[in-house]
Amino acid sequence: MSSQPDTRHEIAGERTARDAYWMPFTANRQFKDNPRLLVGAEGMHYTTADGRSILDGQAGLWCVNAGHGREPIIEAVQRQIAEMDFAPSFNMGHPLPFEFANRLVALSPGDLDHVFFTNSGSESVDTALKIALAYHRVRGEGHRMRLIGREKGYHGVNFGGTSVGGLVNNRKYFGLLLGGVDHLSHTLDIGRNAFTCGLPEHGAELADELERLVALHGDTIAAVIVEPVAGSAGVILPPKGYLQRLREICDAHGILLIFDEVITGFGRLGAPFAAQYFDVLPDIMTTAKGLTNGSIPMGAVFVRRHVYDAFMQGAEANIELFHGYTYSGHPVAAAAGLATLDVYAEEGLLTRGAELADYWAEKLHALRDLPYVRDIRNLGLIGGIDLEPRPGEAGRRGYELHCACFEKGALVRYTGDIVAMSPPLIVTREQIDELVDILAQGLRELR
């Protein structure tokens, strides 16, 4: 028997009991003094270490789209891990990722019909950027080496994604990052678009900055990467016509367009992917999160036929892309993913957001006159409440609203002074009411 204390279900307690775990994207010391621990989950709810039920307003972390504890996914994982825990995928294969890729491309728009598997959104992004650079190189356009991201963009935390990302704190500690990266302006314009229900009217012209960058960099740009809807920076929406315009400019200049659909993929906007929602087809699309309903880590990069075909040249005995992860196409993750797609299909979850979107929008916008609310943004089943920062204490109100909601029984995400919501796609109208009620109570208590 181990003599180590079991800290899993500890409620109160000193920071030291939790010291060894360096938590990601967390104020470690603050959290460890006042921990908010989750120990169970089912359907739309978490259970806390002290036995409270918490309405999940953020689908775990934008990933548990079908809700928690789904039996078919649990069973598929259990079956697969018992049957074959792991198989190598370099120069070897096993059936599941082939089957999973076929199922995925049947859902994807246009000819995004090849899939490269990764283990996370960050890996999907770095994979997509590498594929874009290599694509130009194998076509004899190796001079296209520049990558264009966008201010306030979030593309995960690996070096490529950090480089094209546009959140200052995620970048400034980590040296010079990748060379040859430039950024478009972000599209958040509260002055002109505050409290717009759905897509903002103003700002499509910001896409024209890509023309300016082409004028500056000539034919050295390989790819542009954007989130169709930015989540991590606090729900930033594309102005009407903006994504279409980006697509046109990319086409005019031989630049690949990458949509980072790590949060918008798998039904968040009421269509399987944002590319379908906006009717704009990227050349490469990154996904993760909802791919396995958050159950087992996995990511998938979709590429269009012309991208894949560019690599499938030369001697057939040659490896076409020198890239991949030990766990690419992991059997247990693929099993989880296949079962997830079954649940999505059986319950119509990939389009359910479209049915709820108007209700969601109406309820959220009813919060507009509450204290410190300076903007509310929504699309599909995404919502953001942007708060006036307290002078000298930027980010504090967002944190306090998050904590107040947690105390009152709902989990919502905060980024600085913006609180973001993205409930599982199984959410009911009553649960939307409950979430909005809790937010309203929390807002009224803000100082």
Return residues touching ligand PLP (CB under 6 A): 120-122, 125, 154-156, 227, 231-232, 260, 262-263, 288
Min dist. Cβ of residue 62 to ligand PLP (A): 6
Q: Which is nearer to ligand PLP, 92 or 173 (CB)?
A: 173
Beta-carbon neighbour count of residue 369 at 10 Å?
Answer: 7
Q: Is residue 242 within 8 Å of 278, Cβ to Cβ?
A: no
Q: Which is nearer to ligand PLP, 301 or 446 (CB)?
A: 301
Min dist. Cβ of residue 216 to ligand PLP (A): 26
Distance CA 372, CA 195 (A): 13
Min dist. Cβ of residue 340 to ligand PLP (A): 15
Q: Which is nearer to ligand PLP, 260 or 434 (CB)?
A: 260
Per DSSP, the residues of 95-161 read HHHHHHHHHHHHHSSTT--EEEEESSHHHHHHHHHHHHHHHHHHTT-TT--EEEEETT----SSHHH
Min dist. Cβ of residue 125 to ligand PLP (A): 5
Q: Which is nearer to ligand PLP, 258 or 335 (CB)?
A: 258
Distance CA 419, CA 235 (A): 9
Min dist. Cβ of residue 313 to ligand PLP (A): 30
Closest residue to ligand PLP, based on beta-carbon distance: 121
Report the amino acid identity of residue 156.
G
Please name the helix (run of DSSP H) or strand (run of DSSP E) that holds residue 336, with its range, or none.
helix 331-347
For the chain, give the longest Cα–Cα distance: 68
Q: Which is nearer to ligand PLP, 154 or 406 (CB)?
A: 154
Query: How many Å is the Cα radius of gyration of the chain?
Result: 22
Beta-carbon neighbour count of residue 222 at 10 Å?
Answer: 24
Residue 88 Cα distances to 157, 299, 328, 386, angstroms: 26, 17, 9, 46
Min dist. Cβ of residue 422 to ligand PLP (A): 10
CB neighbour class for 324 (10 Å; exposed up to 12, middle 13-18, buried from 19): middle
Min dist. Cβ of residue 227 to ligand PLP (A): 5
Q: Is residue 98 within 8 Å of 117, Cβ to Cβ?
A: no
Q: Which is nearer to ligand PLP, 239 or 299 (CB)?
A: 299
Among residues 284, 264, 256, 233, the alpha carbon closest in space to that of 127 is found at 284
Q: Which is nearer to ligand PLP, 288 or 404 (CB)?
A: 288
Min dist. Cβ of residue 194 to ligand PLP (A): 24
Q: Which is nearer to ligand PLP, 386 or 434 (CB)?
A: 386
